[in-house]
């Protein structure tokens, strides 16, 4: 899945142009926006590893809404399969797991997250280049 890069300048430039073309008394463009970025995953016949980041299409003008959707997507990812089914590179996390869990087949996502496994989605803030106030 190829997703074109997201340009802050292009996004906010279009927002200004859209407001100018729409109405003379339109509200000013937003100073901040948020998007959710998905981590890409590859499988190489041995294990799954993180490869690339892909911005999702939706733009949020409310940070709380972006955080809530990001959390929902992460929860959905972790519920879809176990770490064993995901086949990640255990050697990357084994040293950070408690010794009694380092070779366990039933290691949980929470244990792996505590050992350094990053969430599969995160929120990225976009700021208007000319913005001076929050």
The pLDDT of 9-18, averaged and rounded, is 62
Residue 42 lies in a domain: yes
Confidence (pTM)? 0.70
Number of domains composing the chain: 1
Residue 13 lies in a domain: no
CA dist list (Å): 42 to 46, 50, 100: 10, 6, 29
pLDDT digits (tens, 9 = 90+) for 25-84: 667 667 889 999 999 988 888 888 888 999 999 999 999 999 999 999 999 999 999 888
pLDDT at 107 over 70: yes
- Residue identified by tokens 């997250």 is 113
Residue 25 lies in a domain: no
Q: What is the pLDDT of residue 66?
A: 97
Q: Which of 84, 90, 76 is nearest to 119 (CA)?
A: 76
pLDDT digits (tens, 9 = 90+) for 82-99: 888 888 877 777 777 777
Contact assessment for residue 74 and residue 103, using Cβ atoms and an 8 Å cutoff? no
- Long-range Cβ contacts of 72-75 (<8 Å, 24+ apart): 73/36, 73/38, 73/120, 73/121, 74/119, 74/120, 74/121
Q: What is the pLDDT of residue 26?
A: 65
- Residue identified by tokens 């899945």 is 1
Residue 105 lies in a domain: yes
The pLDDT of 13-30, averaged and rounded, is 61
Residue 11 lies in a domain: no
Residue 10 lies in a domain: no
Q: What is the pLDDT of residue 15?
A: 61
Domain that holds residue 101: 34-124
């Amino acid at each position: 899945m190829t997703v074109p890069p997201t340009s802050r300048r292009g996004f906010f430039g279009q927002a200004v142009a859209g407001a100018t073309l729409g109405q003379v008394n339109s509200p000013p463009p937003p100073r901040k926006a948020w998007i959710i970025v998905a981590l890409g995953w590859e499988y190489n016949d041995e294990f799954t590893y993180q490869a690339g980041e892909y911005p999702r299409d939706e733009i949020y003008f409310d940070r709380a809404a972006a955080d809530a959707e990001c959390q929902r997507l992460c929860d959905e990812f972790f519920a879809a399969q176990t770490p064993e089914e995901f086949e990640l590179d255990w050697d990357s996390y084994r040293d950070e797991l408690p010794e009694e869990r380092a070779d366990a087949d039933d290691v949980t996502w929470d244990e792996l997250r505590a050992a350094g496994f990053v969430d599969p989605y995160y929120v990225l803030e976009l700021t208007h280049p000319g913005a001076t106030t929050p």
